[in-house]
């Protein structure tokens, strides 16, 4: 079982495309959080991803990571916006973290219109982490693609190639709070076909740089957006589960609304996962 743990709904940014459904939820204290780790460790947890919100705003995050390591959870990841990396660089490097996923949508300053931070600071923090990280700590840049400006993604790919980093990506999810014009839903079929042709080119050209997750994501998203194919099988609740800040466990994000049938709950949020390579390959077999 893999667990994606939204340890907090708090965040030091206010990204315009944020879809976090837990942002107003109260979080567990350290004692209850450790009890949650006991629970999932007894469930043969193979991978634990600390996300949010921004997980680094929790002052007990590294205590929780150390505790998870003591319970023999061997694959521990964090997903961060990168702003606080310099502040916690020693803790990150000395911790049991195996993968650090960092949000990076662009290499140019106009990205501030989406995320509200200065790119130079994030790039500086990535360089710092790259210079300090242990050999067994993997760095993955996660890009939310602007479907109208693929140059941003090409720039991030090039940067990752030049620096020995990995890249994953997501298509932006439509939310009630956002009026951005980035979403695949608003594209016509010719535009969607062009988008996936470009993504396929990137997969071929940058095969070694693309993180394992991206192939699963590409195949699933292509089936869904081009052909309206909804998987008849899903690993939610059996291969992976979601933990909310308050400690509730859901099969997936859609199941927070108690939509349990695949045809009802499958949506863009279902296309956002960090699975193990084995999990991804199994899903790929289902969607091809």
φ/ψ (deg, to 5) at 60 = -110, 15
| For range 45-65, the mean pLDDT | 96
**Whole-number Å distance between alpha carbons of 284 and 268:** 17
pLDDT computed for residue 245 by the predictor: 95
Cβ burial of 166 (10 Å; 0-12, 13-18, 19+) is buried
Q: Does the pLDDT at position 275 exceed 50?
A: no
H-assigned helices in 164-237: 189-205, 212-227
Strand partners, 47: 2, 75
The per-residue DSSP string of 44-55 comes to T--EEEEESS-G
User: Which residues span the domain enclosing 215?
Assistant: 2-287
Bigger pLDDT: 241 or 229? Answer: 241
19 near 269, Cβ under 8 Å? yes
| For range 2-26, the mean pLDDT | 89
Bigger pLDDT: 145 or 228? Answer: 145
**pLDDT bucket at 147, cuts 50 / 70 / 90:** confident
Bigger pLDDT: 254 or 98? Answer: 98
List, in order, residues 6 or more apart from 259 with CB less than 8 Å away.
265
Q: Is 30 left (phi over 0), alpha (psi -120 to 50) or beta?
A: alpha
Q: Does the pLDDT at position 249 exceed 80?
A: yes
Bigger pLDDT: 230 or 126? Answer: 126
CATH number for the domain harbouring residue 126: 3.20.20.70
pTM: 0.89
**Whole-number Å distance between alpha carbons of 283 and 18:** 26
Q: What is the pLDDT of residues 151-207, one digit of tens each?
A: 999 999 999 999 999 999 988 766 666 667 778 777 889 999 999 999 999 999 999
Greatest mean pLDDT among 112-116, 223-227, 254-258 lies in: 223-227
Q: Does the pLDDT at position 58 exceed 60?
A: yes
List, in order, residues 6 or more apart from 25 with CB less than 8 Å away.
9, 244, 245, 246
Mean pLDDT, the chain, rounded, equals 85
**Whole-number Å distance between alpha carbons of 51 and 69:** 17
pLDDT computed for residue 273 by the predictor: 44
How many domains are contained in the chain?
A: 1
pLDDT computed for residue 19 by the predictor: 75
Pick from 130, 68, 119, 124: which is nearest to 93 by CA?
A: 130
Strands of the sheet with 166-170, listed across from one edge: 166-170, 138-144, 97-103, 75-80, 47-51, 2-6, 240-243, 249-250
Q: Does the pLDDT at position 257 exceed 80?
A: no
Residue appearing with tokens 């702003």: 83
Report in angstroms the alpha-carbon separations of 245 from 26, 102, 179, 200, 235: 6, 20, 27, 36, 22
pLDDT computed for residue 143 by the predictor: 92
pLDDT computed for residue 186 by the predictor: 78
Q: Does the pLDDT at position 274 exceed 50?
A: no
Residue 7, helix vs strand vs coil: coil
**pLDDT bucket at 21, cuts 50 / 70 / 90:** confident
Angle, alpha carbons 12-17-23 (nearest 5°): 50
């Amino acid at each position: 079982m893999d667990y994606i743990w939204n340890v907090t709904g708090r965040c030091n940014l206010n990204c315009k495309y944020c879809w976090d459904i837990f942002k107003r939820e109260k979080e567990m204290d350290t004692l209850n959080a450790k009890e949650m780790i006991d629970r999932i460790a007894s469930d043969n947890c193979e991978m634990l991803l600390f996300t949010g919100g921004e997980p680094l705003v929790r002052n007990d995050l590294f205590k929780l990571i150390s505790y998870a390591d003591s319970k023999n959870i061997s694959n521990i990841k964090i997903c961060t916006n990168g702003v606080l990396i310099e502040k916690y660089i020693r803790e990150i490097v000395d911790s049991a973290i195996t993968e650090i996923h960092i949000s990076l949508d662009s290499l140019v300053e106009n990205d501030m219109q989406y995320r509200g931070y200065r790119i130079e600071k994030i790039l500086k923090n990535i360089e710092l982490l790259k210079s300090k990280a242990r050999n067994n700590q993997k760095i993955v840049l996660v890009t939310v693609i602007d479907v109208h400006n693929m140059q941003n993604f090409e720039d991030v790919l090039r940067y990752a190639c030049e620096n020995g980093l990995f890249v994953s990506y997501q298509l932006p999810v439509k939310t009630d709070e956002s009026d951005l014009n980035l979403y695949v839903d608003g594209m016509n079929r010719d535009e969607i076909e062009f988008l996936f042709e470009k993504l396929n080119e990137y997969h071929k050209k940058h095969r070694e740089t693309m993180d394992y997750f991206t192939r699963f994501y590409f195949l699933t998203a292509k089936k869904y957006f081009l052909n309206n194919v909804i998987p008849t099988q899903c690993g939610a609740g059996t291969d992976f589960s979601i933990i909310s800040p308050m400690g509730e466990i859901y099969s997936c994000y859609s199941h927070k609304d108690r939509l349990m049938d695949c045809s009802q709950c499958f949506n863009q949020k279902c296309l956002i996962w960090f699975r193990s390579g084995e999990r991804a390959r199994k899903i790929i077999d289902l969607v091809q």
